[in-house]
Amino acid sequence: MVTYAAPLREIRFVLNEVLKADQLSALPGYEEATPDLFDAVLEEAAKLCVNELLPLNLSGDKEGCHYENGVVRTPAGFKEAYTKFIEGGWTSLSCDPDFGGQGMPHLLEFVVQELICSSNISFGMYPGLSHGAYNSLAAHGSDELKQTYLAKIVDGTWSGTMCLTEPHCGTDLGLMRTKAEPRGDGSYSITGTKIFISAGEHDLTENILHLVLAKLPDAPPGIKGISLFLVPKFLPKADGTPGMRNGVMCGSLEHKMGIKANATAVMNFDNAQGWLIGEAHKGMRCMFTMMNAARLGVGMQGLGISETAYQTAVAYAKDRRQMRSLDPKKQDKSAAADPIIVHPDVRRMLMTIRANTEAGRALAYWVGMLLDLSHKHPDPEKRQEADDLVALLTPIVKSYLTDHGFNAANLAVQVHGGHGYIHEYGVEQLVRDARITQIYEGTNGIQALDLVGRKMPQNMGRLMRRFFHPVSAYLETQMENPAMLEFIGPLAKAFGKLQMATATIAQKGFTKPEEAGAAASDYLKLFSLVALGYMWAQMVDVAMKNLDGDEKAFYEAKIVTARFFMQKLLPEHASLFVNIMAGGKVLMELPAEAF
């Protein structure tokens, strides 16, 4: 069975000891965001996740969503859980107090998202999508739209969606066919079909607000002619309550590999009334407000699943007895076999999940804190710096943490042997649920192209320097610390390769974009390994200073896990570097018809 308890000690370690997140409470508007408040909120979030959401995960997967004549019913228990969720104020955590929000930092929202995704990713997507709609509306909507809709999203009684994909266009939104015609009253008629709409239709909220990309009649061709519209399922009455049904219907639900408790809808818009968000033809900009947050949210899904995979695999490995330890001294003679955690290959799998999850958490939370700094820091240069780092690290968090989430789930299955393949154990569900995170909100291949094609050249490499300079400085300082050498040495080596790969790709890509495209996925992985190594170095540094205290075992485990990362995971950088340097010619050599 799936084993999960919120890893609050781990979370506090990253927040308080590594990132020193108490600095947020010095920012204007975040005065209340102290470590004590974080603790109190997370204790409550942990209860909600473990007691309400986790028990619905397997049953929700088994039952799935039900579709009949345009009406969608979520699995048993979801509506009750959602009611508790909004009663607890979880939809409003980081929202603007002007619209009923609690005004908490994004960082706290990130941590809560991790807990939710560890417990029930299908459930988490319903409020998650709403939060994306909130972000976009709050940033780009007119005052009238904000007044009409925001408070309802904040209190969770209404929910939101992102309607981008159409049958013939996913990544390439420029091909879009959905049309918007002005009605003459300031509103628009939206007509078209959108697919893969997560939480597109369901019974959790009294209204659903679709954020829909469409083309106006005078739209320029391609991606520069797309506008964003708000299309409510029910048109609000003058008193703000849901009124007439709008011309948008759910045509069907997809049968999917996983996240079965989340309704993935085909949405048909037939002269549906909608309102423009932001400027005409500038919809992609508004959508990216939503999309960037969503990409980080998907990274948190990967992280959340990897934590559950870890805890579940560890519980099984301590309980299941098969074969004897290869070291006679470790054999438990009181039983006929030893717990499989004695076997080196089982430990290899557990340590792999652990080392990536812990450093992934540190990286993701760091980005969460940077997001807050980018919004609230009084110094505009500091805001820009934080914003640059968030932009740079978003594709890393999205791709690496979701690839890791999927791998972690698969390793947990492998630790379980045949039992991992059986539905009732709940581990194979983690694999199926995790698989989508590598695809949606831009496939991981697209993230890699975003990194090399957009983020790398941006402002003459300014985003890259935001990361490279502090890492260089850090390595230089730590080189003088003999105790840190076993960690700093490998990291410095990998970092050197990353710098060389960066220079090579930047140079080649300048004249031959295909070369950058060919290197993208390997480069993203190389960058990720260095970023995680950088996190591990900082965590070890903290741990070493605390070895004399009450929690010696906790900090010692940090050091061993960091060592594992440096010895067993970071070396992959060498192969990635060779692959990158080999160039892209061999990828493009075969004519398409030879495939």
Under a CB-based contact definition with an 8 Å cutoff, are residues 308 and 293 in contact? no
Judged by CB under 8 A, does residue 127 bind a second copy? Answer: no
**Could you give the CA distance from residue 500 to residue 490 in angstroms, rounded to a whole number?**
16
Judged by CB under 8 A, does residue 346 bind a second copy? Answer: yes
Judged by CB under 8 A, does residue 443 bind a second copy? Answer: yes
Shortest Cβ distance from residue 198 to a second copy (Å)?
10
**Tokens 């495939």 sit at which residue?**
595
Judged by CB under 8 A, does residue 448 bind a second copy? Answer: yes
**Tokens 């975003």 sit at which residue?**
450
Say whether 343 sits in a helix, a strand or coil: coil
Q: What angle do CA 22, 398, 89 make, to 5 degrees?
A: 50
Judged by CB under 8 A, does residue 220 bind a second copy? Answer: no
Judged by CB under 8 A, does residue 498 bind a second copy? Answer: no
Judged by CB under 8 A, does residue 71 bind a second copy? Answer: no
Judged by CB under 8 A, does residue 551 bind a second copy? Answer: no
Binding mask 392-411 for a second copy (x = CB under 8 A): ------------------x-
Enter the tokens of residue 212: 């829909």
Measured from the CB atom, the residue of 112 and 492 that comes closer to a second copy is 492
Say whether 554 sits in a helix, a strand or coil: helix
Measured from the CB atom, the residue of 321 and 462 that comes closer to a second copy is 321
Shortest Cβ distance from residue 344 to a second copy (Å)?
4
Shortest Cβ distance from residue 510 to a second copy (Å)?
12
234-236 and 242-245 as β-strands: parallel, antiparallel, unpaired? antiparallel
Select the residue interacting with a second copy from 423, 454, 469, 545 (CB under 8 A).
423
Site for a second copy in 263-322 (CB under 8 A): 314, 317-318, 321-322
Name the DSSP class of 74.
Answer: P
Beta bridge partners of 180: 190
**Could you give the CA distance from residue 169 to residue 171 in angstroms, rounded to a whole number?**
6
> Does 486 participate in catalysis according to the annotation?
no
Under a CB-based contact definition with an 8 Å cutoff, are residues 199 and 129 in contact? yes
**Could you give the CA distance from residue 489 to residue 98 in angstroms, rounded to a whole number?**
50
Judged by CB under 8 A, does residue 193 bind a second copy? Answer: no
Select the residue interacting with a second copy from 157, 254, 462, 465 (CB under 8 A).
254
Judged by CB under 8 A, does residue 547 bind a second copy? Answer: no
Select the residue interacting with a second copy from 27, 235, 337, 506 (CB under 8 A).
337
Site for a second copy in 571-590 (CB under 8 A): 571-575, 578-579, 582, 584, 586-590
Beta bridge partners of 182: 188
Q: Which of 52, 166, 441, 515 is catalytic?
A: 441
Select the residue interacting with a second copy from 185, 239, 345, 381 (CB under 8 A).
345
**Could you give the CA distance from residue 265 to residue 66 in angstroms, rounded to a whole number?**
11
> CA 561: distance to chain centroid?
23
Select the residue interacting with a second copy from 12, 73, 179, 256 (CB under 8 A).
256
Name the DSSP class of 210.
Answer: E
Select the residue interacting with a second copy from 5, 323, 473, 503 (CB under 8 A).
323
Judged by CB under 8 A, does residue 560 bind a second copy? Answer: yes
Shortest Cβ distance from residue 415 to a second copy (Å)?
9
Amino acid in the structure at residue 75 = P
Judged by CB under 8 A, does residue 171 bind a second copy? Answer: yes
> CA 392: distance to chain centroid?
15
Instruction: Assign 3-class secondary structure to 263-317.
Output: CEEEEEEEEEEEEEECCCCEHHHHHHHHHHHHHHHHHHHHHHHHHHHHHHHHHHH
Binding mask 146-165 for a second copy (x = CB under 8 A): -------------------x
Site for a second copy in 502-531 (CB under 8 A): 512-514, 516-518, 520-521
**Tokens 């009611």 sit at which residue?**
83
Judged by CB under 8 A, does residue 471 bind a second copy? Answer: no
Under a CB-based contact definition with an 8 Å cutoff, are residues 322 and 420 in contact? no
Enter the tokens of residue 193: 């079909």
What separation in angstroms does the CA of 386 have from each of 303, 359, 377, 483?
A: 22, 20, 9, 31
Shortest Cβ distance from residue 65 to a second copy (Å)?
14
- Residues serving a catalytic function are 441
